Every structure is written in structure tokens, then in C-alpha cells.
Structure 1
């Protein structure tokens, strides 16, 4: 048989054998993957890479051992060199596929479609960043090994190593911005400052972290715009992270009203509103007077929701409902300027404190659910919705977070005691 024909036959037989073995192994691994997540991911990610790597390796071995008679032939050296380069690329592909299968197996154990997914989102962010770094390192190593197969490249290796210090300095100065973003990306992934799906406020925009790479971060704005920021922005500029510890958040709705506004009646109306909507998570419902200067008083309604989208809708609903309630039920509480004509001895109607109407909740005997406190002047009890830091277990726990260390007792006081 002619040597060339023999080489072709051996090469084809080796390729067919490699394809057959890989196909059988793939079927076995896919069947075992019904019970193992890792094997299922391996059969999905690594099948093609394994097929290419096994086929190229089989062809390279077949050509090498079937052409022993032509050791010095240029075509043999060129063919084997090309096959070695293909084998290096295929092996790099296979290693990357196996690493991706392991990463996906790890991610499959932590779901992000559950309410309390902070730990899962943190792990997903870190794995995604490691995946990008892993792929980059594998590609660089594969290209380096492929270049080292050329004798000319090996010959200049020593001179390249000698000038590596100078090249490194020049490269670091030229790629300073790129390197800073890469380092910032790794810092974000492992510092837990921001994660994928976190709700943040950056540049005055409210949105969700949609993508986090080594060089940039994509923020999905609430109105479906995308804000692209370099990763170094999140390590050098303050920003708000609404879901760093948990998804539940607090929100406010403020009103500037006249001094005659019945605060307790408005507080009861707020309680009635939030108890009738599914947007409220039942944690916080507080109405407080936060400012009283000039001709108006400022009332702040503080409510809570399970997540930021629900909070946005709840805040809008509170504003709309209470604004309508003040306009329709308490029009005298709308902001206005007063001008009184009279002397110091005149008694105006609004100065008569002997008869005061009771609030709506006290008039009909209905008290909304929640903690209550006694009014100073009578036996009626009203909901304790005027306290954010106290009044119930949630308020006490919230207050304990913001209480600082006790002041040390002065030395002279201790001596007197």
C-alpha cells in the first residue's frame, strides 16, 4: 500500500474512532446527568470541546506514527506543527468549558428568583467576574503556548524577559484607566458593595444593576433606559444601594399643609389606606410632623414595602390619596396665607378651645390595628403611628441600631459617688 494512502486511512480511522468514543461517552454522561447537576452541565458545555480536542489529538497521533518514514520531510513538520497548534487551542477550549460547567453547577444551587436572594446575588456576581477573568487567562496562556512552539519566538524570549520591566512600566502607564477599572471590578465582586440585581441610585437615577463586567457596569433605569458607568465609579463616588442587606425598604411622602390640619385624623386615614393595599408589607406606617415654620407645617408619611418597585407605587398612592383626602375632607388644611383684623382683646372663633371635634377614629369607636397610646386629655386610645423609633418591637429594634455609645461618666462624678 502506498505510504500516503496508508497515512490517509490511518488518519480517517483515528478520527472516526475518536468521534465514536466521544459520542458514546456523551450519551453515558448525559444519562448520568439526570441525577447529577455537574454531569448535566458537563454534557451541555463540554461536548463540542471534547469532540474537537479528541479528534485533533487522534489525527495528530495518527499522522505522527504513520509517517515515520518521512521524518525529515518539510510537509510532515508543517502538518504536525499545525496539528499541535490546533490541539493546544482545543485543549484550552476544553479546560474553559469544564470550568464553566463547574461555575454553572455552583450557581444552580443558589436561586435568585426568591424573595431573600442577597447571598445568591452576591455569589452570582463573584462567579460571573471570575468567569470573565478565567476565560481571559486561558486565552492568554493558550496564545502564549502556541507562540512558544515557533523557534523564532523562543529565540527572542530571553531579550523579551530582559526588557519586561520597561515594557511593564510603559504598559501600566498606557493602560492605567483600563487596569483601574479591572481592579475596581474585582473589588466590587468581592467586597459585596454592589451585586447584580441590586437596586441603586446613581447620578440621580434609580435603577437596577443589570450587568457587571471588569470594565463597566450597566444600570437598568426604571424607565427602561440604560446607564453605562465605569466600574471605578462605584469605588470612587458615593452611591445609594437600597438592597445591600435586604430588599425591604422605607419611603416617604411629604405634605406642606396649613396649621389647622388634623394630624391624628390624617394619621388614621394613612393607616386605613395602607391596610387596604397589597403594596404595604405591614412593617412601618408612620405620620410625623417634621417641620413647623412659616405659614405651613410639614407632614411626612413614612411607609414600608417588600421591594423598591412596590415602594414606588405605594408612595405615589399615598400622595394621591392623602392629597385628595385633604382637598375633599379637610379643605381648611390647604396651604394659605392668613390676615387677621382685630385688637388684642377680641376673641376669634378659632381661638375658642372649649369645644373641639373628636377625630374620625374616636367618633365611631373604631381603632385601626396596631400599637396604641392614651391621649393626654381623656380615656380614648389612638394608634401609635406617630413614632418611628419606638412604640412597638419594630420601632424599638430600629432605635437600637441608631443609638450611640453611652457617654462616659466624668471622673469627678465617680469620685463623689
Structure 2
């Protein structure tokens, strides 16, 4: 009873100390957060793991101080202490992961992606996100290894494990070949710069933005709010289009097939007016050219530019609509036409006259006579012996 009472008192003290320490730390970080934004982020990230870590550590210390080392009276003391050790390692791994994520977020805070020229920021964000996942994976592996080493007998089995490590690595490599390929491909994508988070890409004839890059797959947010999930090896082995590789500015074309009566000069004047009233056009490119004039139609191509892919699509639609209305309103004679020339031949051409029975009979009779020349008996009368050539 004395031991149980001491244990309860020690656990109560541990709870009070945990609450007091958490309150003091919260007030300190709250005071700093009034001047520094990172303090609020740190408090939000580490609040729960820090309190859990402190509570487990103090409770373990209270248990160790209250329960004496007596194997006969307290045979369960070592098992409980072992459980406290495992929980401490797990909570410590949780706290370390949150601190690592906080430090990475602190570095990302200086690189904003909500600005027009965010190519460097998107590259840094992609690399940091991959490093974050690697860091968390390494910390979890270390924690699991530390927990396994706390069990008796694991140290003795280490020699046999190391002896068979070569064979196991070969088997594991063959079994997880595709997975490891995706992992290395994800790391290559993160540090090569071929794609970054928020890049505009065209994959499998689908237009979208890179939403997430992991160690094994890439998520593409398509224009119609669908998500296209592709393995990381796809972007290292298959050609794809990256519209924001070096910059977000893009060129787009609008084409028209019009009649020869259209005036390209007047169309250029109208294009100047349309782009002058547009807030999407970035002012870099404005070209109107006649690219083809064959087959009875004139093909007019307009090149315009915008700050990003979404703005370019809207700008092309806007220019197309305004030009269609202008042609209908100002030059209806320039609308595309198909010219067909219809001619009527002589009346006798193409008319079949019915044949009479006498004509059909004479036709077949003449045919029978011609056939008899080739299939009838050979006439030998009138042939003299001297006309026959001698046999050789």
C-alpha cells in the first residue's frame, strides 16, 4: 500500500509538473509570437508531442522512484519499465519529426509561390518536400530500430542478420525493383528541376498543374478538377510538355479560315483595339499573319501572349470571339464560302436506248460464228501433199 501510495503521489506530481511546464512554454512562445511568426508555428507544431514526451518521461521517472528494484515483490517492474522505454522512443520520434518539419517550413517561408515569378520558389518547395519525406522516413526507421534493440536476444541475432544481408538485399532488390525505381525517380525529379510543384504540364494529352510530388508518384491537378496520379518513373522515361520550365509566360495562336475578300490590314487594326482593352494580354507578342492562301480560303493566324497558361487560354477565347463578331459585323462578305460550279451536259449523254430482240439475236449470232472459227473442225480439203512440210 505504501508503494502504491507513493506511486500515485509521484504520478500526480508528474502531471502537475507537465501542466506547469506546458503552460510556461506556451506563454513564452505566445509572447514571442507577437513579434515573430515562427514562434506561433513552433507552438502549434510541437504542442502535443512535447506534452506527451514530458508526461511520459516524468511518469516513468515517478514509477522508477516509487517502485523499488525487488524482483520477488515486484516481478512486473522490468516489463513496465520496458514499456515506458518503448513509448518514450516512439513519442521522441514524433517530437523529432515535428521539429524537422517546423525547420523545413521555416526555410520555405522565405520562398513564396503566390507571386507571378515563382520559379525558384517552386523548385525549392519541391526539393524541401522530398527532403521532408526522407527525413520522416529515416527518423521512423531509426526509432523502430531502437525499439527492436531494447528486446533481449536481438543483439545476438545481429550477427546472423548481417551474415545473410547480402542475400536478403538481392532478393529485396528484385522484389521491390519497381518501387525502388519510383523512389530514385522521385528524388531525381526533385533535384533535377524537370518538374516542380505548380508547374503546368501536358501528360497523356491532359492539361494540368503539378499538385504533389512524392517519392513514388506524382499528382497532376487537371483543368477540370480531376487528379491524374502517375508513377515517378513516368516523368523520367516518357516525353511530356512542361509549359513553365523556365518561365510562366506563354504564346498562343488563334487561326481563322476566311474568304479572299478579307483585309489583313483592317484585321490588324481590330486586333490592336481588342488587345488594348484586355487585361490578360501581357504586351509581349502581338502578330497577325496570313499563313496560307490556297483552296479558295485565306488562313489568318494571330499570335498573342499571356502571363500564364490559364490567362493564355482565356485570352485566345476572347480574341476569337471578338474577331468573329467583327467579321460578321464589318465584313460579312469575308465569311468562308464554298464555291461549286454546276454544268449540264448534252441531253443524249447518259441516256440508254432499249435494244430490240433482232439486235440481241444478231449479236449472239455473230458471236457464235466467231466462236466456230476457233472451236469447229479443221478443214483439210484442198490441201495438196506437196504443201505439207517434210518431217524432220
Report the TM-score, using the length of structure 2 for normalisation.
Answer: 0.81
Is contact 1:37–1:105 with CA below 8 Å preserved after alignment?
no
Partner of 2:249: 248
How far residue 111 of structure 1 moved from its aligned partner, in angstroms, is 1.8
Match of 1:306 in 2: 307
Query: Which one has a bigger Cα radius of gyration?
Result: 2
Question: 1 CA distance for matches of 2:232 and 2:294?
Answer: 44
User: Residues 112 and 120 of structure 1 are in contact (CA less than 8 Å); yes or no, is this contact kept in structure 2?
Assistant: yes
TM-score when normalising by structure 1: 0.77
| Aligned counterpart, 2:274 | 273
Aligned to 2:203: 202
Q: How far is 1:50 from its partner?
A: 0.9
Q: CA deviation at 1:272?
A: 1.5
Query: What CA distance in whole angstroms lies between the structure 2 residues aligned with 1:321 and 1:264?
Result: 16
**Aligned residue pairs: how many?**
341
Whole-angstrom CA distance in 2 between matches of 1:156 and 1:60:
29
CA distance in 2: counterparts of 1:140 and 1:99, whole angstroms: 15
**2:170 is the counterpart of 1:169:** yes
Per mean C-alpha deviation after superposition, the further-off stretch among 264-273 and 2-11 is 2-11
**Partner of 2:359 in structure 1?**
none
Give the superposition deviation at 1:183: 1.3
Task: State the Cα distance separating 1:337 from its structure 2 match.
Answer: 4.8
Output the CA distance in 2 between the equivalents of 1:96 and 1:160.
28
Q: Which residue of 2 aligns with 1:399?
A: none
Q: Match of 1:80? A: 81
2:57: which partner in 1?
A: 57
SS of the counterpart of 1:286? strand
- The CA deviation at 1:302 is 0.3
Q: CA RMSD in A?
A: 2.1
8 Å contact kept, 2:183–2:216: yes
- Give the match for residue 365 of structure 1: none
Q: How far apart in 2 are the matches of 1:33 and 1:102?
A: 16
Residue matched to 1:373: none
Return the offset for 1:340: 8.8
Instruction: State the 1:285 CA deviation.
Output: 0.8
CA distance in 2, matches of 1:193, 1:302: 27
Greater alpha carbon shift after TM alignment, 128-137 vs 2-11 = 2-11
Q: Distance in 1 between matches of 2:191 and 2:222?
A: 24
Within a 5 Å distance, the mapping from 1:9-48 to structure 2 comes to 9-48=9-48
Q: Could you tell me which residue of structure 1 aligns to residue 127 of structure 2?
A: 126
Relative to structure 1, is the Cα distance of residues 266 and 74 closer, same or farther in structure 2, using a 3 angstrom cutoff? same
The secondary structure found in structure 2 opposite 1:219 is: strand
Deviations 1:260-299 (A, max 9, x none): 4322221222121111121211111101222344433322
SS at match of 2:298: strand
The equivalent residue for 1:319 is: 320
Q: Does 1:217 align with 2:218?
A: yes
CA distance in 2, matches of 1:175, 1:126: 24
Q: How does 1:104-115 map to 2 (within 5 A)?
A: 104-115=105-116
Q: Secondary structure in 2 aligned to 1:68? A: coil
